[in-house]
Amino acid sequence: MILNDNAAVDLLTLSSMGVRMTPINRQPVHVSSQFEMHATSAETNVLNVSASLGLSTKVLTKFVEGSPIARFIKGELRKRNIAFEGSDEEPEGPWGIRHQINIADAGSGVRGPRVYNDRAGEVGRTITSEDFDINRIFNIDGCRIFHLSGLIASMSEETSATCLKMVKAAKQSGTLVSFDLNYRASFWRGRKRELSKVFKDIASSSDILIGNEEDFQFALGIEGPPVGGEGVSFEVDSYKRMIDNAADEYPQISVFANTLREVVSAEKHLWGAIMRDYGTWHVELPRPIHVLDRIGGGDGFVAGLLYAILRKWPAEKWLKFAWATGALATTMQTDYAAPIDEDEVWSIYEGNARVKR
């Protein structure tokens, strides 16, 4: 893979921004009266590791004019060192467009987390390619990696078309394309045939492809291990076969990555991953991690993987760093990993949680 080192932006994404409301003290939503609010999206979660560690990042998005939630989101992005570009749209009154609200608890013990998406009227669903100067973004400013998630790709007919147009422009400009499949059954309802083609078209133009066994099978139709099965630490070969099948289908992709997760309880997971880099396998067998909040762990993994690639490290370090940033994200109440430095990430990988003075 060849990175454009003259680009103005290291990591660029397209996203619909919203807020997450989380009950305090790991309580369920329906019995809680106190909540914390964070600005969130899967795609900006992926930007956060690079933004925290000094690389340049930007999100292309859309805001609601005059909305205090929009102002909150912009302030949070600034604090996270994430630049943003996008128009402010008229809300059209109380029944018009707004920023989505993601209401999710963290679970506790045998009670798993519950996620409630309130996305009616979401401003991000109206994003089109005409909202941005695509020629300037890719051919004048330039970016080294353009990252997409299956969430923005499946949000509406408009966002699907926008993703396809931007991927085409990115490839023509020599930009690397990363695609995290992020299959969501609720987003695909009534659009299965259409979105299957969209996802396959994006995958056909991608250089880096990330997912789990559900993503590869349901979004791309790639044969793989049983979805939701247990014992992934003992069935790595079946995951490798699935990715080999994907590589046969998409031979232009250089890097495939697949997270491995076993849930022991809400607070304890076995966390692992595999990666195929130009046909060479790298494996991190699942090992125990303590989980404060699992939401965003997969995004944290992708974030670390892309950061390592952008840093041009040897491939054998990519998966290790990604494993650790994914684990880091689960220790934070935000949906994203925010490492203070690289040493913190490597300490996580090494299992060193001793105090550093």
In the chain, what are the domain boundaries?
A: 9-350
132 and 85 Cβ atoms separated by less than 8 Å: yes
Superfamily of domain 9-350: Ribokinase (3.40.1190.20)
What is d(CA 227, CA 95) in angstroms, rounded to the nearest whole number?
39
Residue type at 309 in one-letter notation = I
Count how many residues are written for the chain: 357
Q: pTM of whole model > 0.85?
A: yes
196 and 164 Cβ atoms separated by less than 8 Å: no
Buried b (16+ CB within 10 A) or exposed e, 335-352: bbbbbeebebbebbbeee
Cβ-count burial of 161 within 10 angstroms (0-12 exposed, 13-18 middle, 19+ buried)?
middle
The DSSP annotation for 264-276 comes to EETTEEEEEEEEE
Residue type at 15 in one-letter notation = S
162 and 15 Cβ atoms separated by less than 8 Å: no
pLDDT of residue 225: 85
pLDDT of residue 227: 76
pLDDT of residue 338: 97
**Helices and strands in the chain, H and E counts:** 13, 15
**pLDDT values of the chain reduced to their tens digit, one per residue, 357 residues:** 889 999 999 999 999 999 999 999 999 999 999 999 999 999 999 999 999 999 999 999 999 999 999 999 999 999 999 999 999 999 999 899 999 999 999 999 999 999 998 999 999 999 999 999 999 999 999 999 999 999 999 999 999 999 999 999 999 999 999 999 999 999 999 999 999 999 999 999 999 999 988 999 999 999 888 776 555 555 899 999 999 999 999 999 999 999 999 999 999 999 999 999 999 999 999 999 999 999 999 999 999 999 999 999 999 999 999 999 999 999 999 999 999 999 999 999 999 999 988
Instruction: Select from 106, 154, 98 the least CA-distant residue to 335.
Output: 106
242: left (phi over 0), alpha (psi -120 to 50) or beta: alpha
What is d(CA 210, CA 200) in angstroms, rounded to the nearest whole number?
13
263 and 296 Cβ atoms separated by less than 8 Å: no
C-alpha torsion angle, residues 185, 85, 254, 236 (rounded to 10): -40
271 and 289 Cβ atoms separated by less than 8 Å: yes
What is d(CA 24, CA 134) in angstroms, rounded to the nearest whole number?
41
Q: Is 181 helix (H, G, I), strand (E, B) or coil?
A: coil
